[in-house]
Chains A and B, each alone.
Chain A
Amino acid sequence: GAGVSQSPSNKVTEKGKDVELRCDPISGHTALYWYRQSLGQGLEFLIYFQGNSAPDKSGLPSDRFSAERTGGSVSTLTIQRTQQEDSAVYLCASSTSGSTDTQYFGPGTRLTVL
């Protein structure tokens, strides 16, 4: 079946603009994660959704970052008033139910803030 998809694949924006990044998880997966990967760095956890539970937002770097997951499926990561240090690849992953389950990653969205 289809894997995790993300859109857009690339986004170039100007400093101060808002951006929205979209993630379509694998159908039936109840857990969804967002990560950020800067050049040459490992993955930095941002936020985790599990079913109808309150999301774990402990990794969001500032209040300019927010995410929602509608209907337990598609998720949108929003970055307001983007800064140059927000430039990175944003990766989304999903798993069947979280905890020890394998995470399946999307291809990522490369965000460049000029």
Chain B
Amino acid sequence: SQKIEQNSEALNIQEGKTATLTCNYTNYSPAYLQWYRQDPGRGPVFLLLIRENEKEKRKERLKVTFDTTLKQSLFHITASQPADSATYLCALLSGNTGKLIFGQGTTLQVKP
């Protein structure tokens, strides 16, 4: 069956370091992958989209990689700040209907 896995354990890092979050998937051939940020009590907010023919995408301090051979995406936040503390969700397009399948999210805590 189709499955998306993110590290369920919280990631704790020191301010200024690079945070790396992992998203693995099985039994998918997604055309693209999205990353969202979710703060407590709020809906997810879109961050980045990377297509299957793109190896890497950057936006300010964020970098996403997409390895369709390994079936994995890595999400990096460089020079992390306490304000980056949140839960980060990856999502894959299922079929061609626009339906997104989400991972369970990884909670990042950046300590000052």
A residues touching B (Cβ–Cβ < 8 Å)?
4, 31, 33, 35, 40-45, 48, 50, 56, 58-59, 91, 93, 95, 98-108
Once A42-B102, A42-B105, A43-B89 are accepted as A-B contacts, the answer to whether A98 and B97 lie under 8 Å apart by CB is: yes
Mark B40-62 against chain A: 1 for CB-CB distance below 8 A, else 0.
01111110010000000000000
Q: B74-112: which residues lie under 8 A (CB-CB) from chain A?
A: 89, 91, 93-94, 96-105
Pair A95/B98 contact, Cβ less than 8 Å: yes
A-B contacts besides A43-B89, A48-B97, A99-B98, 17 pairs, CB < 8 Å? A33-B100, A35-B102, A42-B4, A45-B94, A45-B99, A45-B102, A48-B99, A59-B99, A91-B43, A91-B44, A95-B98, A98-B97, A100-B31, A100-B93, A105-B43, A106-B43, A108-B42
Cα(A9)–Cα(B94), bound, Å? 29
Pair B100/A107 contact, Cβ less than 8 Å: no
Contact partner of B42 (CB less than 8 A), chosen from A42, A43, A100, A107, is A107
Q: Which residues of B contact A91 (CB under 8 A)?
A: 43-44
Contact partner of A103 (CB less than 8 A), chosen from B6, B42, B46, B94, is B46
Interface of B is mostly: strand
Contact partner of A42 (CB less than 8 A), chosen from B45, B46, B89, is B89
Q: Which residues of A contact B96 (CB under 8 A)?
A: 99
B residues touching A (Cβ–Cβ < 8 Å)?
4, 6, 31-32, 34, 41-46, 49, 89, 91, 93-94, 96-105
Say how far B45's CB is from chain A's closest CB, in angstroms.
Answer: 7
Q: Which residues of B contact A101 (CB under 8 A)?
A: 98
* 7 interchain pairs, CB-CB under 8 A: A43-B89, A48-B99, A99-B96, A99-B97, A101-B98, A105-B45, A108-B41
Say how far A107's CB is from chain B's closest CB, in angstroms.
Answer: 6
Pair A98/B98 contact, Cβ less than 8 Å: yes
Q: Which residues of B contact A56 (CB under 8 A)?
A: 97, 99
Once A100-B32, A103-B46 are accepted as A-B contacts, the answer to whether A41 and B104 lie under 8 Å apart by CB is: yes
Kindly report which residue of chain B lies nearest to residue A58, judged by CB atoms: B99
Centre residue among A4, A91, A102 by max chain B CB count within 10 A:
A102
